[in-house]
């Protein structure tokens, strides 16, 4: 799965380069390849699903401070690895830092306030 995610990332970078280089024909071809690769990847989790997963993991491991972040990440990692959206992975990391600052944690994340 990591290889497939890498291929998607490469295609997206190529699409951006071709678009900036005024080569829409090549960008369209790369997008078509990207769509084929996506068809083999598992369904992407939504922001709400990731937020719910993190909320449950925090509760399960009784996370109370930054030292517990590793336990939460370990509990979520099998699911996070299946996400091909780098945005959600980034949001996951931000949420972990946000949650331990006492700013609403996963509840704020699932309500779109992250």
* Environment class of 96 (CB within 10 Å of its CB; exposed 0-12, middle 13-18, buried 19+): buried
* Whether residue 69 sits in one domain with residue 15: no
Confidence bin at 80 (pLDDT 50/70/90): low
- Mean pLDDT (the chain) is 75
Identify the domain containing residue 8 by its residue range.
2-40
pLDDT of residue 91: 60
* Whether residue 64 sits in one domain with residue 23: no
* Whether residue 92 sits in one domain with residue 75: yes
* Whether residue 58 sits in one domain with residue 34: no
* Whether residue 83 sits in one domain with residue 32: no
- Contact between 70 and 100 under an 8 Å Cβ cutoff? The reply is no
- Taking only the tens place, the pLDDT of each residue in 21-70 is 999 999 999 999 999 998 888 777 777 787 788 778 878 888 777 677 77
pTM score, whole prediction: 0.50
């Amino acid at each position: 799965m990591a290889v497939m995610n890498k291929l998607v990332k490469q295609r997206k970078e190529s699409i951006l380069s071709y678009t900036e280089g005024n080569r829409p024909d090549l960008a369209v071809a790369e997008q078509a390849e990207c769509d084929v690769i996506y068809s083999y990847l598992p369904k992407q989790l939504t922001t709400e699903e990731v937020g719910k997963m993190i909320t449950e993991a925090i509760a399960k491991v009784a996370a109370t401070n930054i030292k517990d972040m590793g336990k939460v990440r370990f509990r979520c990692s099998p699911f996070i690895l299946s996400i091909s959206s780098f945005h959600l992975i980034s949001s996951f990391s931000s949420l972990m830092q946000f949650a331990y600052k006492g700013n609403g944690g996963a509840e704020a994340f699932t309500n779109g306030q992250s």
